[in-house]
Structure 1
């Protein structure tokens, strides 16, 4: 299987550059278990497709203002994109500069904080912030929100709130779990009134989620690692939901990756640590009964995960419909509600 098997043509004007004013006003393409027709709805209509006793699982990671700008001790300009917080005042980061920084070198941020370059770890640099100020507080003051590369504008003040889910609690992501961006308080209240339950996992999304696949055969691709936590409470919620006949509905591909990682031994168990799980057709997704997800980049690992869940041809046909109907694509775009194909 090749990455070109997941290609589709996308007019550039369909790539959303701004979020809608109302989160749940985004469109929702419902792909039913049986053959089309599809339903062209809005995210606010989601309660109509769920039942009392269903469990919606969200990713409660919180995006950090991970873009920083500064100057090397040699005078060259530097752009830093944090990949993950390692602990204390150390981070792994991508560093953009005309010449690669060397271990022991210093970078001074535009706001004045000094950073020491500790060394290289694969494609990332290990950096230490030379300050006693809590790192999260410093980033809120000195960093910018790391909007995806296909958004052709600088992050503004509004993105600090809008590129964050309402249930973001655990700091560490450098990209939003974008399916969760569609949920606002009125929608959450409507779902609760419907009898839908809520659960949470944490997966700190890394910048690697935007990196293109560099090999043609998907079997040769190695995923970047991300940290996740699936707690005992969530595992118990899933077990109770399934025992009562309810469905587990993942809000976003990161939730699927987290649950499938935690279920690698055959059953869902608590797990905290790194994952580089790569889900593509041939992988049987056992932990999820339905999926709310945004529209993803052509030939991306996210397209492959969605295809593993709902079938490659079904997904590509749904994407073709979305293009014809001018849905908005990617992080600030519209969403899909996918069900697995009905058994013949």
Structure 2
């Protein structure tokens, strides 16, 4: 696969690789996504807008330069922005691959971090020297203003130029709660949504605080995804539950939607309201709600790719990865897409 190096959400030549529940593959242009959908399907997307979650600053005790990437909260409420889980990097910026970034200075309880107009204190380290719980000074309004003034979108070395915050907002972006963009929704357009409605395909949203996709540290990456809050509107829950009752497919746009729906539907019926998605979906997970996923072209070993193993066997995903590499699909958040239908367990060969 080839890294997508430009922040273009819907390039005219975007490609889509589809795999049905029998493992049969299909190459197509992503603009023809609707051809993989059926009347009475229900499509659910994540309407979270992306926060400017990268904060450059100084570790006050050492005087060293750091970058703080906000990574998780326990609630979507704007009033809770003061306490955030964060991953801390040493000197450098997004132009240096995360795996090559220097370690930050030793982070101890009570250490002060000077982040532009924001000030924060380390509450505790969380199972890793670079993962910390932070408490920001000031009111929620002051913190939000500081993020807007000083923060930048989290980005990685495959992108050549700094991202603007609007580069990360999907066409349906609403509440700014995601730490990285729910980028599967870059494939959506208002024209596509009109076509869905014209064909009797339902559409609704959840709001899920999509977290970091990578830290550059194998130990930290093994902890991903962190616990992530979400909210499911009553309309969305009702649409999904009715689809399940009549045997229609539920199609998730992105891994964050799968996490939210499966957590809220752990007992077989999606409950509306707020929740905190915990745990990691993978090959041992029995999906109860979602029948298919539209997602990016994720690299093996990432938490996003691991989630796909709940939909298909390792052998099917290996064939997908080989084909994406052979044909030269673009990867990362502005890359091409994969449509993967959940394989029936009795048809899985390995």
Shift of 1:103: 4.1
Judging changes above 3 Å, is the alpha-carbon distance between structure 1 residues 114 and 102 closer, same or farther for their aligned structure 2 residues? farther
Q: Name the structure 2 match of 1:116.
A: 120
TM-score (norm 1): 0.83
Q: 1:21 to 1:170 in 2, by over 3 A?
A: closer
Closer, same or farther: CA 209–224 of 1 in aligned 2, 3 Å: farther
TM-score for the superposition, normalised by structure 2? 0.82
C-alpha offsets along residues 41-70 of structure 1, whole Å, 9 cap, x if unaligned?
122111122122211000112210111112
Which whole-Å CA distance do the structure 2 matches of 1:61 and 1:119 have between them?
Answer: 27
* Partner of residue 26, structure 2: 39
Q: Name the residue aligned to 2:152.
A: 144
Contact preservation (8 Å) 2:43, 2:204: yes
SS in 2 for 1:308: coil
Tell me if structure 2 keeps the 8 A contact 1:54–1:249: yes
User: How far off its partner does 1:120 sit?
Assistant: 1.3
Unaligned runs of 5+ in 2: 75-79, 91-103
Whole-Å Cα distance in 2 between the matches of residues 68 and 132 of structure 1? 17
Q: Work out whether residues 62 and 171 of structure 1, in 8 Å CA contact, stay in contact via their aligned partners in 2.
A: yes
Q: Structure 1 residue 50 and structure 2 residue 37: aligned? A: yes
- 3-state DSSP of counterpart to 2:310: helix
Tell me the residue number matched to 1:60.
47
Alignment of 1:157-196 (within 5 A): 157=164, 160-196=165-201
What are the equivalent positions in structure 2 for 1:81-100 lying under 5 Å apart?
A: 81-85=69-73, 87-97=80-90, 98-100=104-106
Gaps in structure 1 of 5+ consecutive residues: 1-9
- Does 2:256 match 1:254? yes
SS in 1 for 2:260: helix
Q: Which moved more, 1:257-266 or 1:14-23?
A: 14-23
Once the two structures are superposed, the pairs formed by residues 224-263 of structure 1 within 5 Å of their partners are: 224-263=226-265
What corresponds to 1:3 in structure 2? none
Alpha-carbon spacing, 1:71–1:206, altered in 2? closer, same or farther (3 Å): same
Native 8 Å contact 2:212 2:225 kept in 1: no
Please report the RMSD computed on the Cα atoms of aligned residues, expressed in angstroms.
Answer: 2.7
TM-aligned CA distance change 1:214 to 1:119, over 3 Å? closer
Question: What's the offset of the Cα at 1:210?
Answer: 4.9
C-alpha displacement of 1:88:
4.9
Residue 163 of structure 2 is matched in structure 1 by: 156
Equivalent of 1:125, from 115, 126, 133?
133
1:269-300 deviation per Cα after TM superposition (whole angstroms, max 9, x unaligned)? 23523222211113221211211111112212
Moved over 6 A (4+): none
Q: Is the 8 A contact 2:264 2:271 kept in 1?
A: yes
Q: Does 1:332 align with 2:334?
A: yes
